Amino acid sequence: MVQGKTLFDFVNPKEYRFVHICSSCGHPHFLKDDNVEHECKNCGDNAGYQVVPFYNPTEDYALDVDYYAITMMYALWKQNVHKNHVVYDDFYRKPPFVRGVGDYRGELGGYVAFGGLDHLISMLSSLYFNEQDIEYLRQQPESFDEAFLDDLRALRFSGDLYSIEEGNLVFPNTPSLRIEAPVWECIWIEAMLLNTINSESLLLTKGSRLITVTGGDVLLEMGKRRAQGRDSSVNGAKMAYIAGFDATSNVKAGKEFAIPITGTMAHVYIMFHESEYEAFKTYADTFPEKVILLLDTTNTLESGLPNAIRIAKEMEQRGQKLVAVRLDSGDLAYLSKKVRKRLDEVGLDYVKISATNDLDEATIASLKQQGAKIDIWGVGTKFITAYDNPALGGVHKIVARSPFHHELKSDGGQYQAG
Ligand SMILES: [Zn+2]
């Protein structure tokens, strides 16, 4: 294996669509068709082959469509107008997360932070129907013409994409992204485009609102366990990082997108040990550079805090510093003020306070108004699920088409505007 490469860097499944596995020696041959009349280049035999479709499962997007896309593509193909060029714009009508203020119930300050472009481009550039997709469509009761399935086999996204950059703000009824392409390609990509842009823009917007309210404080994304599925947990962590979060707890997202990862301990670590002090001590011994102690397992002010102070003082004697303590329940404004005061009194003014517990931009703003002494914010459920507004209604609409014109050439030549 070559470092950092996969099979798909060497064998392109858009071209080599079948693997012929030699019945004699088991050697795999990557070929463009399923015609088995060839000799094995490994053993010279042609006793037979097991033929299986070959494709890259990490780039399996062609059927990420609503079925009407396929039926419309077929009907357009039947009329031979499927390659007529059209222009599609993407925009949304109503901004998310907007709440009434006072007696005013209209929309104030709504915006969307545009996200998902990087992901979309990667999908469009890897888009092809693999042999299993073709076979699945062949089995449908519509009985698609074999020539249509052949054209799908050769189909790639050939259009032009114009877009604002990921992370920029977009306002209602203003196009953020434009596609110019043959009409059947625009129809093909509609659902995957909207799914990607809507979901990632929604989370980028939520992340941007959290960044606005936390100002310069440290902000951490920890929504993995509450996200609606694996993809949204990873994509959400990416959107959080683009929005300006400092790190994520999601290790997969960290690896995939080079996002800093963070995490220390949960209640289980403390409950597993004989005492809270012993749990803190073993953790501090293991990771002396990055200790954040969770205070609320039994009693935040009566047990967690005194034990954390004892650990911090022991660390000082070894020339080490406790990084932070974490509050995960209770009245975070009240507790953080108490903890801050006590830490300062014993000379631990460098120890930061982190807080987690169903936080969103409204609760963080409220905590700040109450004078909470929190330096590090961890947000999970309410960020990753876009809890108070879980969908963005962006649309992909045709805004122009070339004159309705049947293609002149049958060999794939395109209509020329004139
Ligand atoms: Zn062989």
pLDDT digits (tens, 9 = 90+) for 157-212: 999 999 999 999 999 999 999 999 999 999 999 999 999 999 999 999 999 999 99
**54 CA distance to ligand 1 centroid (A)?**
18
Q: Is residue 20 scored above 90 in pLDDT? A: yes
Rounded to an integer, the average pLDDT of 28-33 is: 94
| Band of pLDDT at residue 1, cut at 50, 70 and 90 | low
**46 CA distance to ligand 1 centroid (A)?**
7
Q: Is residue 112 scored above 80 in pLDDT? A: yes
Residue 86 corresponds to which tokens in the numbers above? Answer: 């059209």
| Band of pLDDT at residue 103, cut at 50, 70 and 90 | low
**58 CA distance to ligand 1 centroid (A)?**
29
pLDDT at site 140: 97
261-274 pLDDT, tens digit each: 999 889 999 999 99
Q: Is residue 417 scored above 50 in pLDDT? A: no
**48 CA distance to ligand 1 centroid (A)?**
9
**1 CA distance to ligand 1 centroid (A)?**
21
Residue among 272, 279, 338, 355 at smallest CA distance from 311:
279
Tell me the β-bridge partners of 321.
none
**38 CA distance to ligand 1 centroid (A)?**
11
Mean pLDDT for the chain overall: 92
pTM score over 0.85: yes
Phi-psi region of 385 (alpha: psi -120 to 50; beta: other; left: phi over 0): alpha
Which residues have a Cβ under 8 Å from the Cβ of 112 and sit 6 or more positions away?
Answer: 92, 95, 96, 169, 170, 171, 176, 201, 202, 205, 392, 394
Residue among 80, 63, 59, 61 at smallest CA distance from 184:
80
Is the Cβ–Cβ distance between 214 and 383 less than 8 Å?
no
Please name the amino acid found at residue 112.
V
**129 CA distance to ligand 1 centroid (A)?**
29
**21 CA distance to ligand 1 centroid (A)?**
8
pLDDT at site 247: 97
Class of domain 214-384: alpha beta
**45 CA distance to ligand 1 centroid (A)?**
6
**60 CA distance to ligand 1 centroid (A)?**
29
**13 CA distance to ligand 1 centroid (A)?**
22
Q: Where in the chain is the domain with CATH 3.20.140.10?
A: 67-209+392-401
Q: Which residue has the tokens 């597993």?
A: 272
Map residue 343 onto helix, strand or coil.
helix
**190 CA distance to ligand 1 centroid (A)?**
44
| Band of pLDDT at residue 409, cut at 50, 70 and 90 | very low
Looking at domain 67-209+392-401, does it have CATH number 3.40.50.2000?
no
218-255 pLDDT, tens digit each: 999 999 999 999 999 999 999 999 999 999 999 999 99
**30 CA distance to ligand 1 centroid (A)?**
13
**290 CA distance to ligand 1 centroid (A)?**
56
> Cα separation of 382 and 388, whole Å?
8
How far the first Cα of the chain sits from its last, in Å, is 53
The count of C-alpha atoms lying within 13 angstroms of the C-alpha of 272, restricted to the half-sphere facing its C-beta, is 9
Using CB atoms within 10 A of its CB, is residue 360 exposed (0-12), middle (13-18) or buried (19+)? buried
Residue 37 corresponds to which tokens in the numbers above? Answer: 């009349």
**5 CA distance to ligand 1 centroid (A)?**
26
Which residues have a Cβ under 8 Å from the Cβ of 271 and sit 6 or more positions away?
Answer: 297
pLDDT at site 416: 46
321-334 pLDDT, tens digit each: 999 999 999 999 99
**39 CA distance to ligand 1 centroid (A)?**
8
> Cα separation of 226 and 223, whole Å?
6
| Band of pLDDT at residue 410, cut at 50, 70 and 90 | very low
Q: Where in the chain is the domain with CATH 3.20.20.70?
A: 214-384
Using CB atoms within 10 A of its CB, is residue 249 exposed (0-12), middle (13-18) or buried (19+)? buried
**19 CA distance to ligand 1 centroid (A)?**
13
